[in-house]
Amino acid sequence: MIEKFKGIILTVADYKDADKLATIFSLEHGVLNAKFSGVKKEKAKYKAVAQPFVLANFVVAEKGRSLTVTQADIIDSFPNILKNYSKTICAYLVLDMVRSILPVQKPEQDLFLLTLNALKNVETQNEYVATIQYILNFLKFSGLQLDFYETDHAYLDINTGNITPEKVENALLIDKKVYSILKSVDGLQNAETSNLNLLKQAVRLLHNVVYLKFGVDVKSFSFI
C-alpha cells in the first residue's frame, strides 16, 4: 500500500547504521511513524527532510509492519525557529504536546492546522505568547477549556487542573500579573505581554494544568 499525505515531523531518532525513524503528525492520518532509509549517508536524498519542524508532502510504502518514506517534498522548514534558542524550545514544546498526548493514527485535522499555525506564530511573533495561545487552544480542542474570571484573585485547583475564582482545598494562588497574561492571550482583556519572566511563569503554570488534565508530563516544559 502506498499512502500520500501532508505532515509535520515531530521527532527523529537514529535507527541502525544509516536509517532514521520519524514521528510525523499528518493531516490525513494523525500521528504515525515512518522510516527514512539510508538518510544518514553523506549524499542521502532526504537528509534535509528528516528533521523536526519540517512540513512536507510525503509518500510512504508499507513494508512489513512499518512505513518507509519513498518520497518527500518540503513545503516549509521554519528556518528562523532554529536561529533563536527560545523559539526552538517553544517550537519543540508545541510538537511535544502533540507527540505526548495525541493517540497514534487518530486523524485530527483541526488540531493539525492549529499546530501548523502555532509554528508559524512561534517563528514570526513572540514565541512565548504563541506557545501560551497554542496550549489554551489545545485544551479547548480537547474539551478541557480553562475558564477565566473577572477577578484579581484566581487559583489553580490541583485536584482538577481548573482555574477558580475562589480558594478551594488544595488550590494554589496564581500571580495576578500571570493571570492577566493568560486572560489577555485568551482574548478577554489587554495586558502587558512583553515581560519575559512573567511569560515563562505563565507557560510553567500551564505545564501544571496540562499534567493535571492529561496525566502526562510533557518533557519540553522543563526547558522553559
pLDDT of amino acid 193? 74
Phi, psi of 13 (to 5 degrees): -130, 145
Residue 53 clears pLDDT 80, i.e. is over it: yes
Query: Residue 192: what are its φ and ψ, rounded to 5°?
Result: -70, 125
Q: What are the grid coordinates assigned to 86, written together?
A: 527560545
Higher pLDDT, 196 or 189: 196
What number of other Cβ atoms are within 10 A of residue 103's Cβ? 8
Query: What count of residues does the chain have?
Result: 224
What are φ and ψ of residue 162, in 5° steps?
-90, 160
Beta bridge partners of 156: 163, 172
150 Cβ contact list (under 8 Å, min separation 6)? none
Give the residues across from 12 on adjacent strands. Answer: 22
Nearest to 94 by CA among 70, 120, 61: 120
Pairing of strands 155-157, 163-164: antiparallel
Share of the chain above pLDDT 90, in %: 84
Cell numbers describing residue 91: 517550537
Per-residue pLDDT tens digits for 74-98: 999 999 999 999 999 999 999 999 9
| Sign of the four-CA dihedral 102, 126, 80, 74 | positive
Give pTM, 2 decimals: 0.93
**Torsions phi, psi of 106, nearest 5?**
-120, 105
pLDDT greater than 70 at residue 1: no
Q: Can you read off the three cell numbers belonging to residue 100?
A: 505526548
What is the pLDDT at residue 66?
A: 87
Q: Is the pLDDT of residue 185 over 80?
A: yes
Helices 176-185 and 127-141 cross at an angle (nearest 10°) of 70
What pLDDT is recorded for position 22? 97
Instruction: Determine how many CB atoms are found less than 10 A away from the CB of residue 148.
Output: 20
> What is the residue whose three cell numbers read 503554570?
205
Give yes or no for residue 2 having a pLDDT over 70. Answer: no
Domains of the chain: 2-76 (2.40.50.140), 81-223 (1.20.1440.120)
State pLDDT tens for residues 135-145: 999 999 999 99
* pLDDT value for 106: 85
Q: What is the pLDDT of residue 152?
A: 78
User: Does the structure show a pLDDT above 90 at 189?
Assistant: no
- pLDDT for residue 192 is more than 90: no
Integer CA distances (angstroms), 199 to 28, 32, 89, 133, 145, in order: 34, 32, 14, 11, 20
Is 131 within 8 Å of 203 (Cβ atoms)? yes
| Mean per-residue pLDDT over the chain, rounded | 93
Q: Is the pLDDT of residue 41 over 80?
A: yes
pLDDT tens digits along 101-134: 998 888 899 999 999 999 999 999 999 999 999 9
Q: Which helix (H) or strand (E) holds 63?
A: strand 55-63
Tell me the three state secondary structure of residue 73: strand
